[in-house]
Each structure stands twice: as structure tokens, then as C-alpha cells.
Structure 1
Amino acid sequence: MSGNVQPDSEDRVSRLVRENELLLADRKGLVRYVRAQRNYLGERYLDRAPHFIVTEHEEAYEALSQELRDEIEDGGEKTDQS
């Protein structure tokens, strides 16, 4: 056991790494889905729906990445959670 990182913090970092990987894989799938919808329904489909989905997904990905970086830089001792 490391002196600076508690076991539950190590679990949290591992969970964040897994979530980050899953979110990246999911984002790639979302991009493929949006492209398929564009091809199937035409450009006007993108004027109505998927932009907000892609935007929310990218924001979530960036937030999780920043949270993971903060957790690692803090040595696993992050006290505030959003």
C-alpha cells in the first residue's frame, strides 16, 4: 500500500480510467452513428438533432479526462466531488 494513495482512491482512479476508455470507445461509436444517420436521412437530419448529443458527449469526455488528471496529480487525495 502506498503512503500517499489510499486503496479506495486507487479504486477510484482505476474506475475513472475504465470510464474514460469506455467513453472514448462510445464516442467513436457515436460518430459512426451520426455519420450513418447523415447518409440515411440527409443533411437536414443533422440540423435538428445529433449536434447536441455530440456536444454533450464531448463535454462529458473532457470533464472525465480532467477529473482523471486531477485525481492523478493530487495523488488520489481529491476531497471535493462535482
Structure 2
Amino acid sequence: MSIQPKLNGYSNGTSAKASPVSTAVWNKLKQYLPSRDPDTDFWWKYSGLHLALMLEEAEYPPEKQMAALLFFYYWGVS
């Protein structure tokens, strides 16, 4: 018996959507945060999205997700 990981309700990390998986808080933040240099933007989009998914799966409230992601944006990815 193997345990298959679930990502937003879809087993094996597959999604019915063609676009990458995201969260409501992630979608809201990416609308308002300014673009920086290409390297920083790459790491923010890559690792910031992963952090957003982990926070949502851990069932953090939206305001805590927002605070953690903003901290990561300004201090973790620089």
C-alpha cells in the first residue's frame, strides 16, 4: 500500500486546471507586490508559491499566510 500525496484535493499533484496550482492569498499578493530584478522575481515566484501552498495546507488563517508571505518577500528573497 502506497500513500499518494495530495495537493489541493488532487492526488499525485495533478490538477484539473492547466495553470499551476496557487492559493487565494498568493493570487491577491502577486497583484500588488512590485517586480524587482529578474533573479529575485524568479525566486519569489518559485519559492514564494511553495511557501503559500504549505501555509494553506497547514490551514493557517489568511491573515497569517499574508504576514508570512510578506515577510518572506521582503526578507527571505532578496
- Which structure: larger Rg? 1
What is the TM-score when the length of structure 1 is the normalising length? 0.33
Structure with greater contact order relative to length (CA < 8 Å, sep ≥ 6): 1
Q: By percentage of residues, which structure has more strand?
A: 2
Alignment TM-score, normalising by the size of structure 2: 0.34
